[in-house]
Amino acid sequence: MNENTIHVAIAEDQRLFRECLVSLLNGYDNVNVNVEAANGMELLEKLYVAAPTPQVVLLDLTMPEMNGLDTTRQLKKLFPEMKIIILSVHSEERHIVHMVGEGVNGYLVKNSELSEVVQAVQAVHEKGFYFNESVMRAIHSGMAHKHEKSYNPNSPLTAREKEILELVCQEHTTPEIAEKLFLSVRTVDGHRNNLLEKTGARNTAGLVIYALRHDLFKFNW
């Protein structure tokens, strides 16, 4: 392991699937699964004593004792910096939209390729979110059926904020945005914080959802 290693936790009640996934992910040089659990309760107990604390969690939705939804809510309270990727058999729009609304950073179905799981782990760690084309479409469709809007007309986004938001949606990191716009990283962080405050988003993934909900940009899917 090196300083660039991403430490991962997995909560999945199907033992064979979990053990196979752990073994496969640990085959990658920059991924280390150092916590595995059969349910949300066990996950939380192990996270308290894990060293180092995982940066990313792969979380099943349907588990005994504590399911993925309740676990997500607890993780948001207890480990707010931890990135959450849902890995579930449920591919229905309602499940995706609901969990995205809870603030998860990514959503994958269990028939995904291993390479995409690794890609998602790297993306949420580096950029804060990972939504593939099918998930983006589901989010957009699901949001279109909702009437509530989080946009505050008294706090419109500035041209610079919209510019930064678009680059966020294009999966650029903060340093990349700073370089592209000839700004300091600190300035970009300031604009990001303003975006979070104005949109009511919880994280980078929430900013992407906001842009989708309000059709601010043309997404390439």
Summarize pLDDT for 17-76 with one digit per residue, the tens. Answer: 999 999 999 999 899 999 999 999 999 999 999 999 999 999 999 999 999 999 999 999
Q: Are residues 126 and 167 in the same domain?
A: no
Q: Are residues 116 and 155 in the same domain?
A: no
Per the domain annotation, does 1 fall within a domain?
A: no
CA distances from 80 to 72, 170, 174, 192, 203 (A): 10, 24, 19, 17, 10
Task: Out of 130, 158, 178, pick the residue that ends a domain.
Answer: 130
pTM value is 0.83
Structure tokens at 47: 């996270």
Q: Are residues 89 and 172 in the same domain?
A: no
Per the domain annotation, does 85 fall within a domain?
A: yes
Number of domains in the chain: 2
Q: Are residues 124 and 40 in the same domain?
A: yes
Per the domain annotation, does 218 fall within a domain?
A: no
pLDDT tens-digit profile of 88-147? Answer: 998 888 888 888 888 899 999 999 999 999 999 999 999 999 988 888 887 777 665 554
Please state whether the peptide bond connecting residue 64 to the residue before it is cis, i.e. omega within 30 degrees of 0. Answer: no
Does residue 154 have a pLDDT over 80?
no
Domain that holds residue 188: 150-213
Q: Are residues 33 and 114 in the same domain?
A: yes
Per the domain annotation, does 53 fall within a domain?
A: yes
Q: Residue 57 is part of a domain; what is its CATH number?
A: 3.40.50.2300
